Amino acid sequence: DAKTTQPPSMDCAEGRAANLPCNHSTISGNEYVYWYRQIHSQGPQYIIHGLKNNETNEMASLIITEDRKSSTLILPHATLRDTAVYYCIVRAGIGGKLIFGQGTELSVKP
Partner 1 sequence: DADVTQTPRNRITKTGKRIMLECSQTKGHDRMYWYRQDPGLGLRLIYYSFDVKDINKGEISDGYSVSRQAQAKFSLSLESAIPNQTALYFCATSDLEETQYFGPGTRLLVL
Count of residues in contact with partner 1, rule CB under 8 A: 23
Residue 98 beta carbon to partner 1: minimum distance, rounded to whole angstroms: 6
**Number of residues that make up the chain:** 110
Q: Which of 18, 103, 106, 108 touches partner 1 (CB under 8 A)?
A: 103
Q: Which of 15, 26, 30, 46 touches partner 1 (CB under 8 A)?
A: 46
The Cβ-side half-sphere exposure at 70, using a 13 Å CA radius, reads 9
Q: Of 39, 82, 35, which is closest to residue 54 (Cα–Cα)?
A: 35
- By CB under 8 A, residue 45 contacts partner 1: yes
Q: Which residues pair with 4 in a beta bridge?
A: none
Task: Give the Cα separation of 46 and 55 in Å (integer).
Answer: 14
Per-residue binding string, partner 1, 48-87, x by CB under 8 A, is -x-------------------------------------x
Helices (H) and strands (E) in the chain, counts: 0, 9
- By CB under 8 A, residue 110 contacts partner 1: no
Q: Which of 30, 54, 65, 102 touches partner 1 (CB under 8 A)?
A: 102
